[in-house]
């Protein structure tokens, strides 16, 4: 694969970015999966942000805000739960909180991954071996169990931000490994060597040449880390390890289990959060599936 | 395979165990909670005894657990215990050791987990191989979106939907537990049937979730393999399609699939714990859940270390068997 990268050799930074955006948009048009995923995801984001104009987010998603166990009606379109939370408000705030945990943990994971991946690939030597060993170790440890231990010890003190930090502590090995491999393959290409010959310095090369070319991988890595964090948060919350006060999606699942919503036939209490969890995870999954193909054209499947 | 590679792998295993043990040791020290004191307080309030002497009792327990020693001594002691597979007493079920509590729960998890992961692997791989084979019937392709759905929806959500449909609505299967409360545990045919009846829905949730992912991965590997020159050559030689499919395509696509299976062990444990919680199954998942409620961190610690060890051994085993399966892989040449 030593074909000279003629197109990107003379491509300046800004044009590379707009070129990327253009090819991304063309890719969205061609790939229905990505389009469907993005539409569902943006709809959920819109629901959780614009929705707060519809309901009182300070009182309604908390207990005793409404009569208990009401089926959906005009006053409470999603019904209320056994402790008198307005389910519409719970879903609006809960989706936002779950997204917040995911985005926070995913961004931290990706940021650490970029830094460690770049250091590992650029400096090599013992730094590279050390980082590779740590990443290998982190991959082998079933991180969920360690998170359970941490979260159960912090239980009463856990907040949305703490939750995100716990998840972020295990969200970086994937991006680190991926980015390291990509940088290693990119830095041998000719346009990087050209940049080096033309007198560009290390940081300049990274910002103007490497990062634009890494964009697809960064995006795919970010969505991957986001899925991991949303999943992890749901799992911890299902065990009752989330913030007991905040109405996140996972905690709603936990409460409806604890108060056996199924046996009491309160279908709206479990049906609506499950529907939103499925929509959220499916949309992220579709986006990540499509982005992986965009980032790795070799694995692109001819339909 | 070279000795250097083996030594490197065993070092890595030790490093993983050491890291896990260290995290597990220091995290509780950073926590503001004191499980022994909480436990004694609970006992005092429930038993109606007065609170005097609580501090003395807590100190006595701390002495018994060696918590009054300097930190470095405690740390070395904890590492020694990990090497000896001795995790002390359970705090919530006091006179019992962590090992005996885990010993009761482990068979349930192993049976449920191993059986489901094996079924999911075999069925998923066969399905994926057929999906990636260009000459498969067209109706099979409808299964691609289905497997995407089941692999994306979390196992505990699948489990809940299965409970709703088959246990709550149709009443075809029991709602929870590993056997009926009226059943008589023992090695009898009727009890075995009862256990299978209870294991069906949780196993189904795990299989559906895992199978979708396996099928998609195998499909991707098949698509890559089918594009190789030797497949075209085998076709051109006029070999029977079944032979090309099995001996040329599937055999070569299977190998990365085996590594994929080991990589997915971590997520599989995660799903098993949550599905067991959902079904109140008496395995490790249920145990973790009850250990969290009363902060029995000796028990949590023991479960974590045993599962970390299991994953490490499985990874090592597959990595060592791998060159036997695939003569193209030689670790010493890297």
> Given an 8 Å threshold on Cβ–Cβ distance, is B154 in contact with A149?
no
Identify the bridge partners of residue A14 per DSSP, sorted by sequence position.
none
Count of CB atoms situated within 10 Å of the CB of A123: 11
Chain A: closest CA distance from residue B295 (Å):
7
Which residues of chain B from 89 to 108 reach within 8 Å of chain A, CB to CB? none
Tell if the CB–CB gap between B277 and A239 is shorter than 8 Å.
yes
Q: Which residues of B32-68 are buried (b: 16+ CB within 10 A; e: fewer)?
A: eeebbeebbeeebeeeeeeeeeeeeebeebeeeeeee
- Answer whether residue A4 shows pLDDT above 50: no
Burial track B275-286 (b if 16+ CB lie within 10 A, e otherwise): bbbbbebbbbbb
User: How large is the average pLDDT for residues A229-257?
Assistant: 89
Q: How confident is the model at residue A233 (pLDDT cuts 50, 70, 90)?
A: very high
Does A28 contact B at CB distance below 8 Å?
Answer: no
Contact B168, B175 (CB under 8 A): yes
**Whole-number Å distance between alpha carbons of A254 and A273:** 11
Contact residues on chain B for A289, CB-CB shorter than 8 A: 148
B160 contacts on A by Cβ (under 8 Å) = 262, 270, 274
To the nearest whole Å, the CA of B196 is away from the closest chain A CA by 23
> Inter-chain contact A274–B157, Cβ cutoff 8 Å?
yes
Q: Confirm if A234 and A253 have CB atoms less than 8 A apart.
A: yes
Residue B89 has φ and ψ, to the nearest 5°, of: -95, 150
Residues of B in contact with A301 (CB under 8 A): 220, 223
Contact residues, chain B, for A136 at CB < 8 Å: 12
pLDDT attached to residue B45: 66
C-alpha–C-alpha distance, residues A62 and A53, integer Å: 17
Residue from the list B164, B291, B308 with its beta carbon closest to the beta carbon of A141: B308
Q: Which residues of A touch B265 (CB under 8 A)?
A: 142
pLDDT band at A20 (very low <50, low <70, confident <90, very high): low
Looking at the DSSP bridge assignments, the partners of residue A80 are A86
- Which chain A residues in 123-162 lie under 8 Å from chain B, judged by CB atoms? 133, 136-137, 139-146, 148-150, 152-157
Burial class (CB in 10 A: 0-12, 13-18, 19+), A226: buried
Percent of chain A beyond pLDDT 70?
A: 91
Q: Using 50, 70 and 90 to split pLDDT, how confident is the model at A5?
A: very low
Q: What is the mean pLDDT of chain A?
A: 82
Q: Under an 8 A CB cutoff, do B300 and A157 touch? A: no
Phi first, then psi, for residue B173 (nearest 5°) are -135, 155
In angstroms and rounded to an integer, the radius of gyration of the C-alpha atoms of chain B is: 25
Instruction: Find residues 156-195 of chain B whose CB sits inside 8 Å of chain A.
Output: 156-157, 160-161, 163-164, 168, 175
Q: Looking at this predicted complex, what is its ipTM?
A: 0.82
In chain A the first and final C-alpha atoms are separated, in Å, by 25
| Cβ pair A133:B15 closer than 8 A | yes
Residue A248 has pLDDT above 50, yes or no: yes
- What pLDDT does A7 receive? 41
Which residue from B117, B119, B146, B144 is spatially nearest to B271, judged by alpha carbons?
A: B117
Ranges assigned E (strand) in chain B: none
Model-level pTM greater than 0.90? no
User: What distance in Å separates the CA atoms of residue A247 and residue A87, rounded to the nearest whole number?
Assistant: 10
Helices (H), B227-329: 229-236, 241-243, 251-263, 265-278, 284-294, 297-325
User: Mean pLDDT for each consecutive 10-residue tract of chain B (334 residues)?
Assistant: 78 84 79 68 62 69 70 81 78 79 87 88 91 82 83 89 88 77 71 82 91 88 84 84 83 81 79 88 86 81 85 81 68 47
B-contacting residues in A 220-239 (Cβ below 8 Å): 231, 234-235, 238-239
> Which residue has 């108060």 as its token pair?
A259
Our CA-based measurement puts residue B259 at a distance from the nearest CA of chain A, in whole angstroms, of 13
Nearest-by-CA chain B residue for A302 = B223
Q: Which residue of A has its CA nearest to B14?
A: A137
**Are the C-beta atoms of residues A241 and B292 closer than 8 Å to each other?**
yes
Residues A149-167: tens digit of each pLDDT: 888 877 777 888 889 999 9
Please, which residues 251-290 of chain B have a Cβ atom closer than 8 Å to chain A?
263, 265-266, 269-270, 273-274, 277-278, 288-289
List of chain A residues whose C-beta atoms are within 8 Å of the C-beta of residue B157 = 274, 277-278
Check A282 against B265: CB less than 8 A apart. no
Contacts of A268 (CB under 8 A, 6+ apart): A71, A72, A78, A79, A87
Q: Which residues, 6 or more positions from B321, have their beta carbon under 8 angstroms from its beta carbon?
A: none
- Name, in order, each residue with C-beta under 8 angstroms of A199's C-beta and a sequence gap of 6 or more: none
Binary contact (B12, A289; C-beta < 8 A): no
> Taking CA A240 as the corner, what is the angle to CA B199 and CA A287, rounded to the nearest 5 degrees?
80
DSSP code of residue B239: -
Interface test with A, best of B27, B29, B30, B154 (most A CBs within 10 A): B154
Nearest to A110 by CA among A166, A174, A165, A182: A174
């Amino acid at each position: 694969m030593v074909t000279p990268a003629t197109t990107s050799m003379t491509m300046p930074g800004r044009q590379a970015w707009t070129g990327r955006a253009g090819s991304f948009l063309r890719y969205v048009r061609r790939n229905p999966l990505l389009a469907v995923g993005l539409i569902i995801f943006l709809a959920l984001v819109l629901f959780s942000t614009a929705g707060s104009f519809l309901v009182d987010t300070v009182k309604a998603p908390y207990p005793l805000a409404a009569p208990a166990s009401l089926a959906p009606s005009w006053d409470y379109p999603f019904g209320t739960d056994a402790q008198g939370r307005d389910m519409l408000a719970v879903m609006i705030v809960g989706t936002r909180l779950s997204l917040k945990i995911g985005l926070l943990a995913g961004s931290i994971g990706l940021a650490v991954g970029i830094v460690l991946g770049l250091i590992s690939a650029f400096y090599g030597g013992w730094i590279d071996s050390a980082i590779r060993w740590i990443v290998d170790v982190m991959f082998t440890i079933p991180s969920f169990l360690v998170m359970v231990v941490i979260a159960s010890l912090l239980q009463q003190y856990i907040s949305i931000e703490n939750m995100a930090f716990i998840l972020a502590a295990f969200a970086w090995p994937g991006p680190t490994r991926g980015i390291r491999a990509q940088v290693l393959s990119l830095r041998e290409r000719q346009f990087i060597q050209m940049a080096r010959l033309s007198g560009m310095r290390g940081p300049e090369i990274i910002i103007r040449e490497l990062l634009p070319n890494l964009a697809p991988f960064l995006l795919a890595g970010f969505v991957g880390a986001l899925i991991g964090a949303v999943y992890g948060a749901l799992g911890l919350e299902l065990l009752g390890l989330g913030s007991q006060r905040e109405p996140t999606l996972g905690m709603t699942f936990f409460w409806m289990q604890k108060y056996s919503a199924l046996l009491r036939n309160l279908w709206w209490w479990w049906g609506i959060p499950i529907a939103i969890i499925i929509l959220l995870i499916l949309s992220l999954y579709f986006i990540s599936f499509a982005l992986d193909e965009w980032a790795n054209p070799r694995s692109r499947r001819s339909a | 395979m070279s000795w250097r590679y083996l030594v490197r792998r065993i070092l890595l295993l030790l490093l993983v165990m050491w890291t896990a043990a260290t995290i597990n040791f220091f995290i509780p020290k950073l926590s503001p909670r004191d499980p022994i004191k909480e436990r004694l307080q609970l006992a005092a309030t429930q038993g109606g005894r007065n609170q005097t002497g609580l501090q003395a009792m807590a100190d006595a327990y701390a002495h018994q657990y060696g918590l009054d020693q300097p930190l470095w001594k405690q740390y070395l002691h904890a590492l020694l215990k990990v090497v000896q597979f001795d995790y002390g007493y359970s705090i919530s079920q006091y006179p019992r050791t962590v090992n005996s509590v885990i010993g009761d729960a482990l068979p349930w998890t192993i049976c449920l987990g191993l059986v489901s992961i094996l079924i999911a692997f075999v069925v998923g791989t066969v399905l994926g191989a057929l999906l990636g084979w260009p000459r498969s019937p067209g109706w099979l392709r409808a299964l691609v979106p289905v497997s995407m759905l089941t692999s994306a929806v979390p196992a505990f959500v699948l489990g809940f939907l299965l409970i709703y449909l088959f246990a709550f609505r149709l009443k075809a299967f029991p709602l929870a537990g590993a056997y009926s409360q009226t059943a008589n545990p023992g090695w009898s045919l009727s009890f075995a049937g009862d256990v299978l009846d209870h294991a069906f829905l949780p196993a189904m949730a795990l299989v559906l979730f895992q199978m979708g992912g396996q099928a998609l991965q195998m499909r991707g590997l098949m698509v890559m393999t089918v594009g190789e020159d030797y497949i075209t050559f085998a076709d051109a030689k006029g070999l029977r399609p079944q032979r090309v499919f099995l001996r040329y395509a599937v055999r070569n696509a299977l190998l990365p699939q085996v590594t994929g299976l080991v990589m997915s062990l971590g997520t599989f444990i995660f799903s098993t714990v949550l599905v067991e919680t959902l079904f109140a199954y008496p395995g490790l998942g249920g145990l973790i859940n009850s250990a969290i409620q009363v902060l029995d961190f000796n028990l949590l610690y023991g479960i974590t270390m045993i599962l970390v060890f299991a994953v490490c051994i499985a990874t090592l085993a597959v990595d060592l068997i791998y060159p036997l399966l695939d003569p193209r892989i030689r670790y010493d040449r890297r």
